């Protein structure tokens, strides 16, 4: 079982700032690339047509990815101010991203 470090109240440091920025930038650049990333169909055939790839992404992970990315950037722009409950909720929702990453390794 993997527990994200965000669930713990760890003191801010340069290491965590670098990790946070790396993750934020990775997902920011990953979102548009997903419109160009092919996928395997049920028969084992790889779908690479841009229109089909984009349509499948829009129907599956796009909303989740956009929501997670929005949380990252909103958190950055407001500087983490707000209620503790809202912050914890945002951190809990980010675990959906880990599910998506885990699905890539299937």
Read off the pLDDT of residues 13-35 as tens digits, 9 standing for 90 and up: 787 778 888 988 999 999 999 99
**Confidence check: pLDDT of 80 > 70:** no
pTM for the full model? Answer: 0.65
Q: Residue 92 CA to chain centroid, in angstroms? A: 12
pLDDT at 35: 95
pLDDT at 58: 96
Mean pLDDT calculated for residue range 71-86: 68
- Alpha helices in 37-106, H assignment, sequence order: 50-59, 62-78, 84-93, 95-104
């Amino acid at each position: 079982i993997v527990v994200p470090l965000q669930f713990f109240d760890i003191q801010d440091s340069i290491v965590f700032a670098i990790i946070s920025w790396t993750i934020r930038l990775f997902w920011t650049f990953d979102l548009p690339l997903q419109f160009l990333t092919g996928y395997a169909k049920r028969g084992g055939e790889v779908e690479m047509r841009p229109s089909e790839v984009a349509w499948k992404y829009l129907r599956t992970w796009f909303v989740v990815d956009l929501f997670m990315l929005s949380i990252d950037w909103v958190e950055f722009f407001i500087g983490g101010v707000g209620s503790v409950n809202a912050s914890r909720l945002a951190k809990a929702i980010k675990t959906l991203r880990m599910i998506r990453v885990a699905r890539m390794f299937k």
